[in-house]
A and B are shown apart, each in its own frame.
Chain A
Amino acid sequence: MNQTPLKSNSRLERILAAGQFAVTGEIGPPKSHDAGVIREKCSQLKTYVDAANITDNQTGIVRMSSIAAGILIRNEGLEPVIQMTCRDRNRLAMQSDILGAAAHGIKNILCLSGDHQSFGNHPGAKNVHDLDSMQLIRMFQEMRDNSQFQCGEEIKGGGPPLFIGAAANPFADPVALRPLRLKKKAVAGADFIQTQLIYDMDRFREYMKKAVDLGVTESVSVLAGVGPLKAAGMARYMRNNVPGMSVPDHIIERMEGAVKGISNDDKKARMQASRAEGIRICIEQIEEIKEIEGIAGVHIMAIEWEAAVKPIVEGAGLYPRPEVEN
């Protein structure tokens, strides 16, 4: 085991440093101040994942602050990965928020451009984009490693101990640029990457091969994004409407096959059969992902279906989660 000192000592970092296959999950905060919602979702993920992402006004919809929700789950014993988009804050707010988050013991941060506000519930809002995600990664890296603010001024008492993450969408256009963009994020200072949902394993293998050849995985831990499909319709919708989403026909056929022979009227039985198949596919995909060179873990996105995380993690042989020394 190499003995390089840890950057943040977060649980996620320790799992990865120990060479363990990491599992992260995702929690979407409520459109209210109801802490109970967060605690409920947290109880379904806790112990099954090493850390959980807290989305930041995802799809441009106002929700409870990711840092505040992160503190709530941290208090419940689940480690948060705070997502931060460049859409809503300028460099002053980003630095001030990360200092505040670090003061609360938050260590993992995921740097994102952010969905455009036109998709959300305040389409007339002004967006910020003072920095882009690459510059955000670099800024946090310099805060941590050089104890300096973006302006170059010293952070007295040292920079915040952060474990810096970024996202990657392997199949979005221009496809040839995507592995290079991943590399650029690594160079900017990302410690880990979580990918967009992957259903097309063949294409993902090709992408990862390029990433490995570029040397990206030497400095960055790549967590492949997976998520259980609820129904064939959802799979088709994602294939047709989500940029860079590649859902192979055989996956859609399996989801369709799952409800064959069940009467259209028996909605409940159809739903159960289809969801069970979605979970099975997800487990099989994790098994395939484990074999891909350069992969350090999975990021399970089961937003509004947190209950699926337990059977997936158990089914993929990833439970119990390893204990890593603090």
Chain B
Amino acid sequence: MIVADQKPIEDIRKMLKGKKKVLAIGCGTCVAVCFAGGKREVGVLSSAVRMATELEGEPVQIDETIVQRQCEKEFIEHLGDQLGEYDAVLSLGCGVGVQTLADQFPGTRILPGLNTKFMGGPTEQGVWEERCQGCGNCLLEYTGGICPISRCAKQLMNGPCGGTDEGGRCEVDPDTPCAWFNIWERMDALDIQDQLMEIQPPKDWSTSRDGGRRKIVRKDLQKPKLDEGS
């Protein structure tokens, strides 16, 4: 899932400065599950902004709504009718949600209420961790199912750096396990540690963001187009 975090309220207030009427739109999928942009969070954030702006003497009227998936056109189209009355939309979706709204409603100012952090999942109650950077060419088969691209601070592909701390902590943060320590432990337990002696060649990053904006086209799923346009 996509994991996000709410922006600090001061940042949100700054974005909303001068706006009179705003629609806050949450999302019922990833960001609801990580308690950043679901129905409840939209409610709490909206009241906080209302209170703060009232105290300041420049009250902002915030209406609240939620869609099931902000990242898909079909789920947001219906909002079009009401947007005319708002100065701006505050999206509590991930970065994809914000942009889907912006694409769909070119005449409306869309503001981001979240900081989208990573693709990952919960590892314990109240803790989410990154697991994938969408490098576009998954190498988990060589690393015991643990991703060094997203979980090693140096994206090493051939083993740990010299900085792994005692007990397998990453040199960058003592609260974070060293990905390579985990990879070693796991491959050792599976008795496939000799695979680690194979030298992984330089990665082809062109499948990652380095290759430019990425898209997937599935011809088998595309609707036949009558008019190809430009």
Contacts and interface: CB of A to CB of B under 8 A. Distances in A.
Contacts of A133: 156, 158, 161
Given A132-B155, A184-B197, 4 more contacts: A116-B163, A167-B162, A172-B165, A188-B199
Interface string B159-182: 111111111100110000010110
Given A188-B199, A244-B162, A173 B154 contact: no
Interface in A86-104: 86-87, 91
B202 A150 contact: yes
Given A91-B202, A173-B166, A174-B168, A129 B154 contact: yes
A297 to B, nearest CB: 19
Interface residues of B, number: 33
Interface of B: 153-168, 171-172, 178, 180-181, 184-185, 188, 193, 196-197, 199-203, 205
25 contacts: A87-B154, A113-B156, A113-B162, A114-B154, A133-B161, A134-B158, A134-B159, A135-B202, A138-B201, A150-B202, A167-B162, A169-B163, A172-B160, A172-B164, A173-B160, A173-B178, A173-B181, A177-B196, A181-B159, A183-B197, A184-B159, A184-B197, A243-B163, A243-B171, A244-B164
Contacts of A176: 184, 188
A174 B196 CA distance: 13
Contacts of B154: 86-87, 113-114, 116, 127, 129, 132
Contacts of B167: 173
A196 B199 contact: no
A172 B154 CA distance: 16
A6 to B, nearest CB: 25
Interface in A124-174: 127, 129-135, 138-139, 150, 167-169, 172-174
Contact of A116 (B171, B181, B188): B171
A180 B197 contact: yes
Contacts of B184: 174, 176-177
Interface in A173-193: 173-174, 176-177, 180-181, 183-184, 187-188
A224 B158 CA distance: 23
Contacts of B202: 91, 130-131, 135, 139, 150
A236 to B, nearest CB: 15
Interface of A: 86-87, 91, 113-116, 118, 127, 129-135, 138-139, 150, 167-169, 172-174, 176-177, 180-181, 183-184, 187-188, 196, 243-244
Contacts of B185: 174
Nearest to B158: A134
A118 B166 CA distance: 19
Contact of A243 (B165, B180, B200): B165
Q: B-side binding surface: helix, strand, loop or mixed?
A: loop
Given A135-B202, A180-B196, A184-B197, A196 B162 contact: yes
Q: Which has the most chain A C-beta neighbours within 10 Å: B155, B158, B168, B184?
A: B158
A187 B180 CA distance: 20
A248 B171 CA distance: 22
A188 B165 CA distance: 25
B187 to A, nearest CB: 10
A87 B178 CA distance: 18
Nearest to B194: A180
Contacts of B197: 180, 183-184, 187
B199 A187 contact: yes
Contacts of A118: 172
Nearest to A87: B154
B181 A174 contact: yes
A132 B200 CA distance: 10
Contacts of A167: 162
B152 to A, nearest CB: 9
Given A113-B154, A114-B154, A130-B205, A174 B164 contact: yes
A187 B181 CA distance: 21
B161 A113 contact: yes
Contacts of A115: 163, 171
Contacts of B200: 134-135
B185 to A, nearest CB: 7
A99 to B, nearest CB: 18
A184 B158 contact: yes
A135 B157 contact: yes
Contacts of A114: 154
A165 to B, nearest CB: 14
